[in-house]
Structure 1
Amino acid sequence: MCDSKLFYTVIIIVSLVGITLSRENLSLTKAEKQKLDQFKDAVSKISFPAEWMQQELNLVRYLRARQWDVQRAKSMLQETVAWWEENNMKDIHNEDWTSIEKDYPLHTDGVDKFGQPEVYFCNVMFPQIPSLAFVFAFAEWDLRGAAVQGRLNRVIRWFFKAFDDVHQKSIEYHKLGKTNGTQWNVIADMDKLSRQQHLCIQCLRFYTELALILESRYPGGSDKLFVVNSPSIFQIVLSLINPILSKSTLNSLKVIGANKEEWGKAVYSHFAKDQLPENLGGTRKYSTVWNEI
């Protein structure tokens, strides 16, 4: 069970776009379909390290990320393939994470209000149409400690592991016909964000790395991003990631201050309170077992 004294919770709510209620734009114009066909041909000789990379839904996202420029989209996808191999992502779920998961807990349990499973990082979750989610209690994540101890790279990779775990689960739901697309909603609770513990000079790379991976390796993955209880010092993070985030991601980003009535309207319209942690007005209790559903 997570410590009840949580100060900073990031809730990444991965929303699997439902069959009957699709948030993701899956329709293509005739011209876009022609671009997709050209793109499929252009990347046909690439040796993809993961099957999902060559799926049409993924190809469309890369095309949209590069304004339907086939060559630029191909270069972007090739860079993802190279990154995937350089970082040995295919084996990331088989690595020994014992020393990291204790100090930087991540959990997957619970279901959204549509009855679909959610993925959690000990106070991180995902719901909304059929939804997967992952949540983590950032107060328990001592980024400065990780930087001082030389473990920051490992912590960042640990986050990538959870990130990819959710991504793969969303793909499996799509394959099973439960959804016709996959996107994520994100809620980040910045209550009592610590300048010393979370915003040290070395710590800032954590945020830029995540923003870069979101935009360059999983383009189009997010639908809405809510930042609640945001203090003025969060502008430090925004100033770093704003140049990295795409226009569509920036348009989906909603930063809200400490007014609970204001952020509550946004959060509670998407999530039932029994699926939210106590610090967000919910009643959700979390499993202590990683990846338990």
Structure 2
Amino acid sequence: MTNNRSINSNLIWITFTIIILACINCCKGVTFEEEVTLSESELHALQEFKQKVIPKLKVDYMKEDIYLVKWLRARKFDVDKAVEFLNRHLSWRDSTNFDKLDDSDFQDFIHDYPYEIVGQDKEGKPILHCYLGDWDFRKAALAGKMDKMILYASKMFNDAWLKVRDLQQSGQNVTRYVIVIDVGKINIRQHINPASMPFYIGVVLSYERNFPKQGSNIWVVNTPRIFEVALTLARSVMDEETKATFKVYGNNREEWTSVLREYIEPDQLTRTFGGTMPSKFGF
């Protein structure tokens, strides 16, 4: 009996790995550790989930196991809850016309609300560099563009996931991205006011509801005390996994630089984050 269970477990691992490798055309030997390690019951849940949702999916990468299993993990492999969760996401994509959006739809944001996806951490995960302190929330709110700014941030998360997928396609063992956020220029007038508060709630909710299990570590640096109000709001809608990976550091550059360098080589970070890489925004 023990030997049979061992054989079954090995077959489950091999079967799921083959499915993933076929989906992303990876080279032999590439594994995805936790993301592709499923028990027998979890594998059955994945198959049931695929049967229920794949006919609804319009984007090819959304049909891949490595993507679909994230929705199941977010709902502890309860298939019905995962289907409901993904259906809400699909409704959001339709209502925002998300799949047809590109940079040309955000020409009024790209320069004034900078982010870039450059470099990789020591495990190969791509790095989303977000210069949040340069984002003028008040300006967007007064222009009636708060919803668009939240959608722009959602595009930022999606761009990071597409980078993960590009790396998978090239055979790299990557299933998530990491985020570094600089808030050194945060001030009361532009960022800590009633008009700006919806952004913090909206962007975290979008991250949790529309991009589950895609991000890994999140580091916020150069954090002034006045930003605690916004951080409290953001944490209030984070799930437990996000809270556990959400690390906030103050203005002690030596402290947070040493932390980042445990995970990321200096030549993979822009200068804003203590690295040596020049930013396309001139930071």
The TM-score normalised by the length of structure 1 is: 0.77
Task: State whether structure 2 residue 278 is matched by structure 1 residue 278.
Answer: no
Which is further off, 181-190 or 271-280? 271-280
Give the total of aligned pairs. 255
Q: Which runs of 5+ in 2 are unaligned?
A: 1-28
Paired letter, 1:209? G
Q: Does 1:129 align with 2:139?
A: no
**CA distance in 2: counterparts of 1:23 and 1:232, whole angstroms:** 38
Q: Which residue does 2:14 correspond to in 1?
A: none
Give the structure 1 partner of residue 168 of structure 2.
174
Following superposition, the deviation at residue 66 of structure 1 comes to: 0.9
Which deviates more from structure 2 when the two are superposed, residues 202-211 or residues 148-157? Answer: 148-157
Q: Output the CA distance in 2 between the equivalents of 1:285 and 1:242.
A: 31
1:194-249: per-residue Cα shift (whole Å, max 9, x none)? Answer: 12211221212222121111111111011111222333333212221223211111
Instruction: Give me the CA root mean square deviation.
Output: 2.6
Relative to total residues, which structure has the larger helix share, 1 or 2? 2
Q: Match for residue 40 of structure 2?
A: 30
Letter in 2 for 1:206: F
Aligned partner of 2:81 in structure 1 is 72
Cα distance in 1 for residues equivalent to 2:281 and 2:224: 30
Q: 1:144 aligns with which of 138, 142, 145?
A: 138
Deviation at 1:107, TM superposition (A): 4.1
Please say if residues 128 and 179 of structure 2, whose CA atoms lie closer than 8 Å, have aligned partners that are also in contact: no
Over the matched positions of the two proteins, sequence identity in percent amounts to: 27
1:83 equivalent to 2:92? Answer yes
Q: Which stretch shifts more, 140-149 or 80-89?
A: 140-149
Q: Does structure 2 retain, via aligned residues, the 8 Å contact 1:21–1:129? A: no
- The higher-RCO structure (CA 8 Å, 6+ apart) is 1
Counterpart-to-counterpart distance in 2, 1:20 and 1:205:
41
Query: For the residues of structure 2 that align with 1:287 and 1:251, how far apart are their CA atoms?
Result: 31
Contact 1:24 1:182 in 2 (8 A): no
In terms of fraction of residues, the more strand-rich structure is: 1
Cα deviation, residue 22, structure 1: 5.3
Cα shift at 1:85: 1.0
Report the equivalent of 1:42.
Answer: 52
In 2, the alpha carbon distance for the partners of 1:94 and 1:276 equals 23
In structure 1, runs of 5+ residues without a counterpart are 1-18, 113-126
**Shift of residue 79 of structure 1?**
0.8
**What's the TM-score, normalizing by structure 2?**
0.79
Matched-pair contact (CA < 8 Å) for 1:24–1:183: no
Contact 1:49 1:84 survives alignment (8 Å): no
**What is the correspondence of 1:139-218 to structure 2 with a 5 Å cutoff?**
139-179=133-173, 181-218=174-211
Aligned pair in 2 of structure 1 residues 105, 258: CA closer, same or farther (>3 Å)? closer
The superposition leaves residues 21-71 of structure 1 with CA deviations (integer Å, 9 ceiling, x where unpaired) of: 857542111221122222222324x42122222221222111111121110
Give the letter for the 1:38 counterpart.
Answer: E
SS at match of 1:99: coil
Query: Residues 145 and 171 of structure 1: is their aligned pair in 2 closer, same or farther, counting only changes over 3 Å?
Result: same
Counterpart-to-counterpart distance in 1, 2:137 and 2:33: 34
CA shift for structure 1 position 81:
0.9
Q: Which residue number in structure 1 is paired with residue 250 of structure 2?
A: 257
